[in-house]
Every structure is written in structure tokens, then in C-alpha cells.
Structure 1
Amino acid sequence: MSILDAAQTVLKRRYLFARQQFRHLQAGVSYLSGQPLPETRFVLFGRGRSGTTALVSMLDDVPGLRCAGEVLHNYVPFPYRHILGRAAGCSAEAYGCKVLSYQIKDVQRPPGRRKNFLRTLHYGHGFQILYLHRENLVRHALSNIRARRETFHRKKSDLGGEPTAIYVNPNRVLEWLRSSQALRRYEEILLTDVPHLSLTYEEHIRHADDHQTTVDLVCDFLEIASGPVESSYRKVAPSTLRDRVANYDELARRLDGTPYAKYLNEDEGSDHDSD
């Protein structure tokens, strides 16, 4: 990484942090002012690299629905009030936001027990819960690794060359697999006794042809009118694992005999414009 790239990265992080804190201040003002909440409100919950960005983009196209991104990406002193304030500041009839599981586990410090976070949002504040996860853990791990090397989800209007295969450290992939599985168990704890709509990347996000059906399903769950949508993000990774990993055979040998080897044999077919 060049000095210019490093400086741009630092400046971007500082800008995003400042923007988050400014929005926290706005949310606090909205919360304290007693503005009414939208009648319909929800949280899109899951792990990063599971299609949440694409789903946020699609839902935000629905008339009368505003879907925000990661509202708890940075630490805020009062996470419940922050979400409520962001909802109160929304003029749409329905409001949703994205909350990733690691942000509950490692970033925020909500009052009470962390495992009750979704339960409190649902039963205490009337938020419906959408749970989006990715079933193929190997592809999920590779998505995370690629995302740390390049911009993995891009808008369709962005220019760029054909996606290339990447070399991976098989031991690093195994670490990602284990941590992802542990986070999945944590998500199951958070979802205990909390009504939710369960979605998967493979069934609902991967293929562009399924996007409208997915949004219709979500809107039906939320009991609001749906509308025509289109994700503004496109895939930039090759479709098959052999095309995606330059040292695929080395990775396959490392995963052989582990519970994760089965994911190498799952044929997901072609990946379309989604993330």
C-alpha cells in the first residue's frame, strides 16, 4: 500500500467515524424530541458478507420504506436510543436498519445482557427482525478475505476489469470458518424466543431473478405494500470455487477431513449481480 493509499484509508475512517457520531447526535435529538416512530420498523440482522448490503439496497427501493445501513458500526453510548432516534427521524411509513452480530458482541455495550438485544428491540420497542445468513461457510470465508483486499461489492455503474482468482492461506481460511461458525452460534442465542423471518444468501440474494420475490416476501412479513426493486450492487468474484481460488487444490487438501470439506462440494451455480 502506498503512502497516498494509507493516508486516504485513514481519512476515510475518520470521516466515517465523524459521520456516525453526527448521526448519533441527530438520533439523540429526535429521540428526546418525542417524535413519533414509523408504524412499521425492523432490523436486518446477520453477519457481514452475507448479502445484507444488497438487501438494504433493494428494500430501500420500496415506496414508503426507508432502509438504513449499519447504524451501530461504531460505538454509541446508548444503542437502543440511537436506533429509536434514527427511526423517529425517518418520515417514511416504514423504517429499517442493518445491525451485524459482531457489532452487538464486540462493539456496543447495551444496558442489560447482550443476548437480550434483539429481544428488547422486538418486545420492548416493536421492531420486527429479519435474519439473513449465508449457508456455505467456505464461500463466506473467502468473501471476507477478498473484501479485505479489494472492494467486493460495487455499484453496477462502477467500472472495473474482470474478477481474478486470489491466493489464500488455507490456515487463514480455516480460522475464518471457525470464527464464522462460532458467530453463527452466537446469532442463534440472540434469536432465541424472538420471532423473525429467516433468509439465506443462497436462496434469496444470490440470483438476481429471486430479488423481487425476496422483497415481496419481506414486505408480506412486515405487512406493508411491496414495489418493483433492483439492487444497485453487482458481484465481482468468479462464480465457481475453482475459479475463485488460485490455489484451490491446496485449500481442498487442508479442509479434507474437517466438517467444512462438504462446502467445497456444494454447487451454487452462477453468481449474479448481488452481494
Structure 2
Amino acid sequence: MFYALVSALTQQYLKVRQQYRHAQALWSHRRTGPDALPDPRFILFGRGRSGTTALLSMLDDVPALHCEGEVLHNYVRYPYRHVLGRSVRPAAPGYGCKILSYQVQDVQTALDEPEAFIHRLWEEGGFQILYLRRTNLLRHALSNIRARREQFHQKKDDIPAEAQALRVDPDRVMDWIRSSEALGAYEKRLLEDVPHRSLTYEKHIRNPEAHQQTIDDICAYLGVESVPIESSYRKIAPPSVREGVANYDELVRRLRETPYEKYLEEQD
């Protein structure tokens, strides 16, 4: 009961803090003209568990950029003005933040036209869009399941721990895959007619050797100078589904003859 009370109080505190920040953002937006907004400014858009935290952490190491996390994690009354207002006083010339697709679809219910929101941020707000997705829907599903049981990433100065194989409910895995697939289709609609830089976890985040080139390319896209960076997170998940799932054979039987069977042996 004690832990439930602490959890409830924590959630209430986070909601109050978000509304306080919303009030600050609205005030900043109201008293600041367009010329005072940071340049460049960008949105990192996508799904959770797709490498967005790692990428934003690396971009925050670039002196020309100040990056925030999920600015729309909780409901706000005026989402568009909230994002603009949050960008007003960055600690660097440029600004970036993260918006996840489920937050547009399910959390920000005050939006009159949710599917036009990203387009509006680009066209009216002047935000450039970075779109990061994970192509292996099975690994994405397992990442979500693992994240709810244990810490899936560690900070760079933590001692790495060996990830344990998960025992999963194959039907639950299928639910996660289909949910991710549906969000992917939703993201495609939100990005329609919106110029953006497309990135994938598998190509740009999974391999640490790709990180510097990824940041260099993004900085060139945003028009800022790049610097040597170091990722703030280490992957500790098993390199294959076979190693990461304790009841692998059961999962194989469930995925057999489905479009998702191809993901089983892909390395992560």
C-alpha cells in the first residue's frame, strides 16, 4: 500500500509540474515574437523504444543544440503553443525536443486536428522533423515488454549487467507487434506532405560505430556544426531473439506463417 501511495503521489506531482511548465510555455509564447525563436529548431518524432532517447542524448552533446525530452508526455490544453513556448529560451542557439506518435493520438486530446499537428509544427512553427523508427517490429515488441520488467538501457557510467532471457506470452507479443504496426501507419499519415529526415534504429542507432556519422548527417541537415559525440546509453539486450526469449520455440510456432516470421533471426 505504501508503494502504491508513493506512485500515486509521484504521478500527481508530475501532472502538476507539467501544467506549471505549460503555463510557463504559454507565457513565453505570448510575449515572444517569431524572430526570438531558436534557429534551428527540430522535433524528433517516432515511437517509444526506437532509440529516441539515445539519439536525443547524442544531439544534446552538440554545443549548437539544446534538447529536451518528451514535452507532450502529459496532457496540455494548447499543445502547439506549448511546444513553441518550450523552445523560447534554450541554452544554445538551436532547440530540439521529442514527440511520440501515441502522445498525438491518445494523450493530447485537445487537438482539433491531430493528424495535422506535425504538419503545423513544420509549416507554421518552423520546426524541422527527424523521424526515427524501428523496422524490426518483433524486436520492438520485445523491447517494450522488457522495458516494463527491467531497465533495458544503462547510462554510460553504470556497470553493464547481462540481460536475462525473457519468458513471453506469444499472444502478447503479437498484440505489441500489431499495435506498433498501427502506430507506424498513423505516423505515415501525420508525416504526409511534411519534409523530414528519415532514420531507422537498425541503421543509425543499433551500431555504436554509426553514431558519429548519424550525428554529422543530422547536423548537416539542421545546418549546425557537428562535434565528436559519445552515446549516453549502452544496449545490454541479447543480440538475437533466440538468445533473448526463454520460450523461443513457442514464439516461433506463434509467428510461423505470419508476416512477422522474418524478424525472428535478425540480429539486434
Question: TM-score, length-normalised on structure 1?
Answer: 0.92
The farther-off stretch of 118-127 and 88-97 is: 88-97
SS of the equivalent of 1:125 reads: coil
Q: Distance in 1 between matches of 2:190 and 2:156?
A: 34
How far the C-alpha of 1:184 sits from its partner, in A, is 0.3
What CA deviation, in whole Å up to 9, does each residue of 1:142-196 have, x standing for no partner? 0001111122222122346321111000000001111110110000000111000
2:161 and 2:187 map into 1 onto residues whose CA distance is: 36
What is the RMSD of the two structures over their aligned residues, measured on CA atoms? 1.5
In 1, Cα distance between the equivalents of 2:7 and 2:246? Answer: 27
2:40 maps to a residue whose letter is T
Q: Which 10-residue stretch deviates more, 257-266 or 132-141?
A: 257-266
Take 1:13 and 1:243, find their aligned partners in 2: how far apart are those partners? 35
- Once the two structures are superposed, residues 114-135 of structure 1 have per-residue CA deviations (whole angstroms, 9 ceiling, x without a partner) of 1111110111111100000000
Q: Which residue of 2 aligns with 1:232?
A: 232
Contact 2:45 2:132 in 1 (8 A): yes
Shift of 1:8: 4.2
Deviation at 1:209, TM superposition (A): 0.9
Q: Shift in Å at residue 5 of structure 1?
A: 4.3
1:121-270 pair list within 5 angstroms: 121-159=121-159, 161-268=161-268
Where structure 2 has 5 or more consecutive residues not aligned to the other structure, the ranges are none
Q: Where does residue 273 of structure 1 map in the other structure?
A: none
Partner of 2:8: 10
Assess, with a 3 A threshold, how the Cα gap between structure 1 residues 253 and 47 changes in structure 2: closer, same or farther. Answer: same
The alpha carbon displacement at 1:89 in A equals: 2.2
Question: How far is 1:259 from its partner?
Answer: 0.6
Query: Does structure 1 retain, via aligned residues, the 8 Å contact 2:241–2:267?
Result: no
Question: Could you report, residue by residue, the CA deviation over 1:24-49 in whole angstroms, capped at 9, with x for unpaired residues?
Answer: 12212211221610021110000000
What corresponds to 2:23 in structure 1? 25
1:111 Cα offset (Å):
4.1
Instruction: Quote the Cα distance in structure 2 between the aligned partners of 1:133 and 1:265.
Output: 19
Q: TM-score, normalised by structure 2?
A: 0.95
Is contact 1:80–1:110 with CA below 8 Å preserved after alignment?
no
Once the two structures are overlaid, the 10-residue window that deviates more, 4-13 or 155-164, is 4-13
User: Any stretches of 5+ residues in structure 1 without a counterpart?
Assistant: 269-275
Counterpart Cα distance in 2 of 1:123 and 1:114: 15
What is the distance in 2 between the residues matched to 1:214 and 1:176? 28
Q: Is 1:113 the equivalent of 2:113?
A: yes
User: In the alignment, residue 51 of structure 1 is paired with which amino acid?
Assistant: G
**Structure 2: how far apart are the matches of 1:131 and 1:6?**
36
Counterpart AA for 1:34: T
Offset from partner CA, 1:184-227 (integer Å, 9 cap, x none): 00000001110000000000000111111101111111111111
CA contact (8 A) 2:238 2:244 kept: yes
Amino acid at match of 1:117: F
Q: Which runs of 4+ in 1 moved over 4 A?
A: none
- Within a 5 Å distance, the mapping from 1:63-82 to structure 2 comes to 63-82=63-82
Give distance in 1, aligned partners of 2:260 and 2:44: 27
**CA distance in structure 1 between the aligned counterparts of 2:20 and 2:207, rounded to whole angstroms:** 36
User: Does the C-alpha gap of structure 1 residues 163 and 9 become closer, same or farther in structure 2, counting only changes over 3 Å?
Assistant: farther
Percent identity reads 58
Contact 2:76 2:110 in 1 (8 A): no
Please tell me whether the aligned partners of residues 58 and 230 of structure 1 are also in contact (alpha carbons under 8 angstroms): yes
Judging changes above 3 Å, is the alpha-carbon distance between structure 1 residues 166 and 14 closer, same or farther for their aligned structure 2 residues?
A: same
